[in-house]
Amino acid sequence: MHFKVELPNWVIEESEKLPEIMPTLESQMEAVIRFSRINFQKETGGPFAAGIFEKETGKRVVIGVNRVVPGNNSTAHAEIVTIGMAQAILETFDLGGPGMPNYRLVVNARPCAMCFGSIPWSGVRSLAFAAAGEEVEKITGFDEGPIHPQWQQELEARNIEVIENVMAVEAYEVFREFAASDSPIYNGRSGESS
Amino acid sequence: MHFKVELPNWVIEESEKLPEIMPTLESQMEAVIRFSRINFQKETGGPFAAGIFEKETGKRVVIGVNRVVPGNNSTAHAEIVTIGMAQAILETFDLGGPGMPNYRLVVNARPCAMCFGSIPWSGVRSLAFAAAGEEVEKITGFDEGPIHPQWQQELEARNIEVIENVMAVEAYEVFREFAASDSPIYNGRSGESS
């Protein structure tokens, strides 16, 4: 018995057009934000994408996208998908294991409570994101869930660097386009309690 | 490009021996705790298991186990695996969707920060667990991560019932056996920062 978490074909095709080394955080974020837009436009998932890159060189491991609705899997947020893909590619459950370079997770929005909790386990040593959580909730109606009130300090206490507000204007633009579209908002427990 | 989250064969075999309807929470938890023990003994993952059952009838959807180390996937905690399996089986990303019965997540230990955050998205309307988080950390050395300080109230505010301390004595026994074994503790960032 199993389930599969799969990236859509366009992700593979678009990724092949990108350079293997993307040295600036801005070039990484630009690609991540572009993938978040294509993902909802093509109806292959919600407006979220994430990438994992070597922190020092900018070498790209993988860019992944939200797959909740098409994958029938509420845990398939961009970060969970991308961490799982990177670990499958690098054949390790710990991206911070002995002998590994430092890895950075780059996301188009602040992680939700679940994805925040996934970061210490993943082994990445840096998180960079664009849009702030409250703003995304306001624009889109997503309930980002009960994240730890001191989530940033909690990551830093585990030696995980946090860089916020990277190309946030460009990220908000995607969420506004999403909100203006007919795309579904998929918070949990959409039915009545029976 | 994809990754697979797979239950080991013994989970299928042991599950086939269980009745389809497990009417009491204790019978559900007994099975979940038993699976948590077998999982580390057979080296198919960490000492964690979770089940999803219909709350009113006790009908079993699936029991899943932690698959982090064998699956090379730090997000493959028992809850994430089991929610994904249940949603794949029921072909929905929202176990609380229109027309669905109420579902309960049954776990042998308090969810970590990530798994806590996954619960509101999943659609389950009830969480029952055995061992407390701090005790598990003390016995095993796992860092359960930065869970929201008012996590229980946060779930209840979203109409998700929380039942704690179900067969906790039996659950602790498994963690003590695990701690006394040579099994690996796999907190993230095990290597030096480079």
pTM attached to this predicted model: 0.96
**Given the structure tokens 């003590």, which residue do they identify?**
B176
Section A177-181 average pLDDT: 93
- Indicate the pLDDT class of residue A194, thresholds 50, 70 and 90: low
Q: Among A1, A7, A72, whose Cβ lies nearest the Cβ of B92?
A: A72
Check pLDDT > 60 for residue A161.
Answer: yes
Map residue A164 onto helix, strand or coil. Answer: coil
In a mutational test of the B interface, the residue from A104, A114, A192 whose CB has the highest number of chain B CBs within 10 Å is A114
Q: What is the largest CA-CA distance in chain A?
A: 53
pLDDT for the residue B105? 98
Which of A83-97, A135-149, B99-113 has the least mean pLDDT?
A135-149
Check pLDDT > 80 for residue B107.
Answer: yes
Cα radius of gyration (chain B): 16
Q: Among A4, A116, A149, whose Cβ lies nearest the Cβ of B4?
A: A4
Q: Give me the CATH code for the A9-180 domain, please.
A: 3.40.140.10
Q: Hey, are the CB atoms on A94 and B191 less than 8 Å from each other?
A: yes
Q: Among A98, A112, A154, whose Cβ lies nearest the Cβ of B191?
A: A98
Angle between helices B9-17 and B25-41 (to 10 degrees): 150
pLDDT for the residue B183? 81
- Which structure tokens are listed for A78? 């961009």
Q: What percent of chain A has pLDDT over 70?
A: 99
Q: Hey, are the CB atoms on B145 and A73 less than 8 Å from each other?
A: no
Section B146-174 average pLDDT: 95
Section A20-32 average pLDDT: 98
Section B133-137 average pLDDT: 86
Q: Hey, are the CB atoms on B75 and A75 less than 8 Å from each other?
A: yes
Q: Are strands A161-163 and A60-65 parallel, antiparallel or unpaired?
A: unpaired
pLDDT for the residue B146? 87
Greater model confidence, B145 or B2: B2
pLDDT digits (tens, 9 = 90+) for A86-105: 999 999 999 999 999 999 99
* Cβ pairs bridging A and B (under 8 Å): 237
Return the CATH fold of B9-179. Answer: Cytidine Deaminase; domain 2 (3.40.140)
